Amino acid sequence: MDHTNSASHLYAAHLAALQIQAESALARCGYDALLIASGIEKYAFLDDRPYLFQPNPHFKHWLPLTANPYSWLLIRPGHKPRLVYYQPDDYWHVPPSDPSGFWVEHFELIVISQPEDAARHLQVAAGGRAAIIGEADAAIAGVVPNNPQDLLHLLHYRRAVKSAYELEQMRAAQRRAVPAHLAAKAAFEAGASELDIHRAYLAASGHTDRDLPYSNIVALNEHGAVLHYQYQDSRPPAESRALLIDAGAQVNGYASDITRTWSLGRDERFDALLAAMERAQLALVDEVRAGVDYRDIHLSTHRHIARILVEQGIVKKGLSSPEALVEQRVTSTFFPHGIGHLLGLQVHDIGGFMADETGAPAAKPEGHPYLRLTRVLQPGMVVTIEPGLYFIPTLLKKLAATPAGAAIDWGLVEHLARFGGVRIEDDVACREADQAPENLTRDAFAAA
């Protein structure tokens, strides 16, 4: 079987499963049809410049279209899905090209050139009820999104488990990002600025900024301590000590989300910390098993961070029990975010807080407000595992003012703070409970 055949085979199976899921969700929630808007272009206030189009993730779940505003899907039990495909006659922009690719044959295709023309192709049988998923501004005459919560819960809950087709797209998104990470590392080692490292990343990934699944975080030295550092200095620092780069890629609407921290190998203390974090990250990846409560992986991370703080001498002897370090918020000073999240059509894929498909919430552990995933893992779920250890001035200042502050080696903290921090993030697919997880990111690094 050649690659094209296998891709189209996997896609056909993916689509068939979506159709079954949609039919069952419609029946359970009392609807006759599912309508999904791709979304509309949005414009800057008082301006004619559009923001970057962000498709409705429900739309791109069905087909690999990410740049198609004003299009719609109509799903009905027992029918081929209908795609109402917007293709304007536009000489200002490049309009969407003629539909082509492995997905086309699976749809009843209707091409329109005016957004409002979609309405007449989206009618359900007289007296029928339609569930209409989309933002309010996607509404056209008689087709107004109603986003039924019960139906959305069913779809969001199931979306966490990826089909074989989706896993293939996500593997490809790794293969696209990893050579770019290696190019960024080389640029860092050559002393490049953040902006030039970013450019090296884009060139190697073949993406422009528009194609990235999220804005790259390219942080040299102390900038690594800003969790979502949003700038890119155009001039290199006098001395480059560490690079923290959090950057992904997109394939057919599926994202990768990868962080690497690189040093120049010239500082024993920072390099020891980096190596300890690498070992801990791999151990945490190994915890991604079916039946494991993801909250426990987050709590396990805090125990790793506690141990590392003591072993690296950041916490001096005296306050060395992991429980005390967690309890007194020492670990959350250095690791103030969650261990990760669901990944897929969205970088922070929806459905992370659901105890079941009715939408009952699965609570975050007390004192851990930034955790984005509280579910029990199932085979086929893709999650990130992204432990970090940072030297964040505002949090360190607060820690210094508590009794636990006395246990910190502030001289060492000052030394390490010049490197910003460490985050290592892999994308990991859960397999059956007795099987080690698939580390999508490390597999792509190994093959690069």
Contacting residues toward ligand GLY, per CB under 6 A: 214, 246, 257, 347, 386, 425
Q: Which three-class secondary structure state does DSSP give residue 59? A: helix
Q: Is the dihedral of CA 337, 343, 349, 354 positive or negative?
A: negative
Identify which of 159, 134, 152 has the alpha carbon closest to the alpha carbon of residue 84.
134
- Least Cβ distance, residue 425 to ligand GLY (angstroms): 6
The residue range among 79-87, 159-167, 218-226, 246-254 that interacts with Mn ion, by the rule CB under 5 A, is 246-254
196 binds Mn ion (CB under 5 A): no
Kindly tell me which residue out of 194, 196, 257, 427 binds Mn ion, with binding defined by CB under 5 A: 257
166 binds, among Mn ion, ligand GLY, none (CB under 5 to 8 A by kind): none
| Interaction partner, residue 395 (ligand GLY, Mn ion, none; CB < 5-8 Å by kind) | none
Angle made by CA atoms 179, 183, 189, in degrees to the nearest 5: 145
Query: Residue 194 binds which entry of ligand GLY, Mn ion, none, with Cβ cut-offs from 5 to 8 Å by kind?
Result: none
> Residue 427's binding partner, choosing from ligand GLY, Mn ion, none, with beta-carbon cut-off 5 to 8 A by kind?
none
CA-wise closest residue to 62 among 1, 104, 91: 104
**C-beta of residue 388 within 8 angstroms of C-beta of residue 308:** no
Nearer to ligand GLY, 168 or 386 (CB): 386
Q: Which residue has the tokens 């892999």?
A: 426
| Of residues 257 and 349, the one with the C-beta less far from Mn ion | 257
Q: State the helix-helix crossing angle for 164-189 and 194-205, rounded to 10 degrees.
A: 140
Beta carbon nearer to Mn ion, 349 or 425: 425
Q: Which residues contact 16 (CB under 8 A, 6 or more apart)?
A: none
Least distance from ligand GLY to the Cβ atom of residue 183, Å: 18
Q: Is 384 in the site for Mn ion (CB under 5 A)?
A: yes
Residue 222 interacting with Mn ion (CB under 5 A): no
List, as one string, the DSSP characters of 235-266. Answer: S--SS--EEEEEE--EETTEE--EEEEEE-S-
Distance CA 385, CA 153 (A): 25
Are residues 122 and 23 in contact, defined by beta-carbon separation less than 8 angstroms?
Answer: no
- Judged by CB, which is closer to ligand GLY: 205, or 312? 205
Instruction: Quote the least distance from Cβ 372 to Mn ion, whole Å.
Output: 8
To ligand GLY, the closest distance from the beta carbon of 214 in angstroms equals 5
214 binds, among Mn ion, ligand GLY, none (CB under 5 to 8 A by kind): ligand GLY
Minimum CB–partner distance for residue 335 and ligand GLY (Å): 14
At its nearest, how many Å lie between Mn ion and the CB of residue 433? Answer: 24
Q: Residue 388 CB, nearest distance to ligand GLY (Å)?
A: 10
Binding test (CB under 5 A) with Mn ion, winner from 196, 246, 426, 438: 246
Task: Tell me which residues in 394-433 interact with Mn ion (CB under 5 A).
Answer: 425
Please give the torsion angle defined by the CA atoms of residues 263, 265, 269 and 270, in that order, rounded to the nearest 10 degrees: 0
Find how far residue 353's CA is from the centre of its chain: 15
What are the backbone angles phi and psi of residue 80, rounded to the nearest 5°? -65, 140
Among ligand GLY, Mn ion, none, what does residue 346 contact (CB within 5–8 Å per kind)? none
What is the 8-class DSSP label of residue 134?
Answer: S
* 263 near Mn ion, rule: CB under 5 A: no
* Amino acid at residue number 207: H
| C-alpha to C-alpha distance for 340 and 195, rounded to whole angstroms | 27
Cβ proximity to ligand GLY: between 84 and 343 the closer is 343
Residues that bind Mn ion (CB under 5 A): 246, 257, 259, 384, 425
